[in-house]
Chains A and B, each alone.
Chain A
Amino acid sequence: ETGVTQTPRHLVMGMTNKKSLKCEQHLGHNAMYWYKQSAKKPLELMFVYNFKEQTENNSVPSRFSPECPNSSHLFLHLHTLQPEDSALYLCASSPYLGGEKDYTFGSGTRLTVV
């Protein structure tokens, strides 16, 4: 384990379903991130939270809805997804936003939309 735990590890959902991805860290970090990793594309930054406040939404469609109830937990709520949303969703955390501190990544949730 990396210190950042993501659940579930795998998720298959239909286009009309609603599901949530969970990310948890107890590293004392104050910044948390969602990235999308698709084949042959860069890791795409989706959302950034700093001290529980969303600081960045990288033009992500509204069918993805993040939630950060506290500095240790981050959720990604999914509804009416499209097949092209199938990807590996990675959560990461860092002590604070910006700076030279590196990120701790979770193992990801492999999402398949059918």
Chain B
Amino acid sequence: AQSVSQHNHHVILSEAASLELGCNYSYGGTVNLFWYVQYPGQHLQLLLKYFSGDPLVKGIKGFEAEFIKSKFSFNLRKPSVQWSDTAEYFCAVNARQAGTALIFGKGTTLSVSS
């Protein structure tokens, strides 16, 4: 079975600081990887995803993530955060061949001060 670890529970940054949120997964086979964001009071929405090809994927609002297979990692990055990036961020994985549902990490709360 798959599992996901997000190491940062709460990250506090000032505007314009760079962001990197860690995500590691546990699964021996091929996976699809996702980052979702939940803004305060809103529903979960997709930031970006990786399923094949270039391991560096770009998503909405200037976010990107890099899949490093050897490290079982899919870290989320943004060069310069804004106050509006304050939200909860979830990494998720599913097994490509097995047809399984998404398994989520615990989430990381990002607070950006202006």
Contact = CB atoms under 8 A, between A and B. Distances in A.
Contacts, number: 61
A76 to B, nearest CB: 16
Interface string A70-114: 000000000000000000001010000111101101111000000
Contact of B51 (A31, A56, A100): A100
Contacts of A98: 94-96, 98-101
Nearest to A48: B101
Q: Say what secondary structure dominates the interface of chain B.
A: loop
A41 B88 CA distance: 12
Interface in B100-114: 100-107
Interface-centre pick from A43, A56, A106 (highest chain B CB count, 10 A): A43
Interface of A: 2, 31, 33, 35, 40-43, 45, 48, 56, 90, 92, 97-100, 102-103, 105-108
